[in-house]
């Protein structure tokens, strides 16, 4: 996108920038708003190191009127290449404080109201994690699901790098986040529609197209399955799956806004790193229902472990 003075402001979204890849860092360097009133929603997985996250969000915050960020699993990793070795809640809080220094809105801040074209609407950045409730077919428990995943070789790197400290488990951390976030969303005035932004989808249906269904265990929680109705959602913005597309579920628009890894976006038609319009909504979505796919086919995780 290039700057266009005097153009009306828009609400844009993107996720899974993964700027540890030089090609993806170059995409961020080329990102610019269409007007001085544009907002940008960043739905997680900017990078694995605090320094890279700071660079990317700082660069975007200098260009857009407002940047809203939510953490993905990669920001929460305690990665051996990152000199910041904080774990769990302490790492998340460190990232939140960094964002506040940059003027970037986080899930810990008051929810802003988009008053531009297509508004007003409350933009609600969320941090919810997952609780292994999106189990593979035939599995009844987390233990069975993990055993199945290890048998296929499709295991999210979170199992080794994302620590829940001081919570006893990732699912306990997830339950705490869901409870607090649900309380906050319930306080939003009933007359305002909501644009929730979360790294993971609020409903399981977007994971139905995964080549490896076992990976869904690391993609959300069934505790939020009715939130798109309960909290008057206009559009649910998420990433993580690396399958950019629009779907509709019970009349609610779900937007997967990932960039993904270079090996993935090189296969897609059109230029990479395009920002996705949220408000005003695009005139055509390209989706025909809850299972509608974009032109990009689902991309399989590479290697013996998935890294999304």
Encode pLDDT of 82-109 as tens digits: 999 999 999 999 999 999 999 999 999 9
Residue 99: the pLDDT is 98
- Is the pLDDT reported for residue 202 higher than 70? yes
Confidence of residue 8 (pLDDT cuts 50, 70, 90): confident
Tell me how far apart the alpha carbons of residues 200 and 224 are, in angstroms, rounded to a whole number: 11
Residue 283: the pLDDT is 78
Q: How many CA atoms lie within 13 A of 231 on its CB side?
A: 25
Using the 8-state DSSP alphabet, how is residue 135 labeled?
P
Higher-confidence residue of 306 and 152: namely 152
Residue 4: the pLDDT is 34
Contact predicate 227/202, CB 8 Å: yes
Which helix (DSSP H) or strand (DSSP E) does residue 247 occupy?
Answer: strand 245-249
Q: Return the axis-axis angle of helices 50-61 and 88-102, rounded to nearest 10°.
A: 30
39: phi then psi, degrees, rounded to nearest 5 = -110, 155
Query: Which region among 117-126, 165-174, 298-307 has the lowest average model confidence (pLDDT)?
Result: 298-307
- Is the pLDDT reported for residue 299 higher than 60? no
| pLDDT 10s digits, 11-67 | 999 999 999 999 999 999 999 999 999 999 999 999 999 999 999 999 999 999 999
Which helix (DSSP H) or strand (DSSP E) does residue 57 occupy?
Answer: helix 50-61
Structure tokens at 49: 């190191």
Query: Chain centroid to CA 211: how far?
Result: 20
- Is the pLDDT reported for residue 74 higher than 80? yes
| Cis-peptide into 166, omega within 30 deg | yes
123: phi then psi, degrees, rounded to nearest 5 = -95, 115
For the segment 66-73, the average pLDDT, to the nearest whole number, is 98
Tell me how far apart the alpha carbons of residues 186 and 179 are, in angstroms, rounded to a whole number: 11
Contact predicate 258/242, CB 8 Å: yes
14: phi then psi, degrees, rounded to nearest 5 = -160, 160
Residue 7: the pLDDT is 54
Q: How many CA atoms lie within 13 A of 261 on its CB side?
A: 12
Using the 8-state DSSP alphabet, how is residue 67 labeled?
E
β partners of residue 67? 40
Query: Chain centroid to CA 294: how far?
Result: 18
Higher-confidence residue of 304 and 183: namely 183
pTM above 0.95, yes or no: no
Mean pLDDT of the chain: 90
56: phi then psi, degrees, rounded to nearest 5 = -65, -50
Q: Which residues fall within 8 angstroms of residue 233, CB to CB, at 6 or more apart?
A: 193, 194, 195, 196, 202, 227, 252
- Is the pLDDT reported for residue 286 higher than 80? no
- Is the pLDDT reported for residue 197 higher than 80? yes
Query: Would you call 225 exposed, middle or buried from its count of C-beta atoms within 10 A (0-12, 13-18, 19+)?
Result: middle
Q: How many CA atoms lie within 13 A of 4 on its CB side?
A: 8
Confidence of residue 284 (pLDDT cuts 50, 70, 90): low
Tell me how far apart the alpha carbons of residues 296 and 79 are, in angstroms, rounded to a whole number: 30
């Amino acid at each position: 996108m290039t700057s266009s003075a005097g153009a009306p402001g828009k609400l844009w979204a993107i996720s899974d920038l993964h700027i540890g890849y030089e090609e993806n860092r170059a995409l961020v360097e080329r990102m610019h708003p269409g007007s001085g009133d544009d907002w940008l929603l960043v739905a997680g997985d900017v990078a694995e190191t605090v320094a890279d996250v700071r660079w990317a969000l700082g660069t975007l915050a200098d260009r857009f009127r407002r940047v809203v960020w939510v953490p993905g699993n990669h920001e929460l990793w305690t990665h051996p290449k990152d000199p910041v070795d904080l774990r769990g809640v302490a790492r998340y809080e460190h990232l939140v404080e960094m964002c506040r220094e940059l003027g970037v809105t986080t899930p810990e801040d008051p929810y802003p109201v988009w008053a531009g074209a297509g508004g007003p609407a409350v933009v609600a950045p969320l941090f919810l994690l997952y609780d292994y409730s999106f189990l593979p077919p035939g599995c009844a428990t987390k233990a069975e699901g993990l055993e199945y995943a290890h048998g296929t070789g499709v295991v999210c790197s979170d199992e080794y790098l994302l620590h829940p400290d001081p919570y006893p488990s990732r699912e306990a951390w997830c339950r705490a986040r869901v409870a607090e976030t649900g309380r906050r969303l319930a306080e939003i005035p009933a007359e305002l529609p909501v644009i929730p932004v979360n790294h993971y989808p609020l409903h399981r249906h977007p994971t139905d197209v995964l080549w490896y269904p076992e990976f869904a265990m690391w993609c959300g929680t069934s505790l939020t399955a009715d939130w798109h109705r309960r909290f008057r959602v206009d559009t649910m913005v998420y990433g993580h799956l690396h399958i950019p597309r629009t779907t509709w579920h019970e009349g609610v628009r779900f937007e997967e806004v990932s960039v993904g890894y270079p090996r993935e976006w090189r296969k897609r038609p059109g230029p990479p790193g395009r920002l996705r319009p949220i408000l005003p909504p695009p005139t055509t979505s390209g989706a025909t229902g809850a299972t509608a796919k974009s032109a990009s086919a689902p991309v399989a995780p590479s290697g013996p472990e998935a890294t999304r």
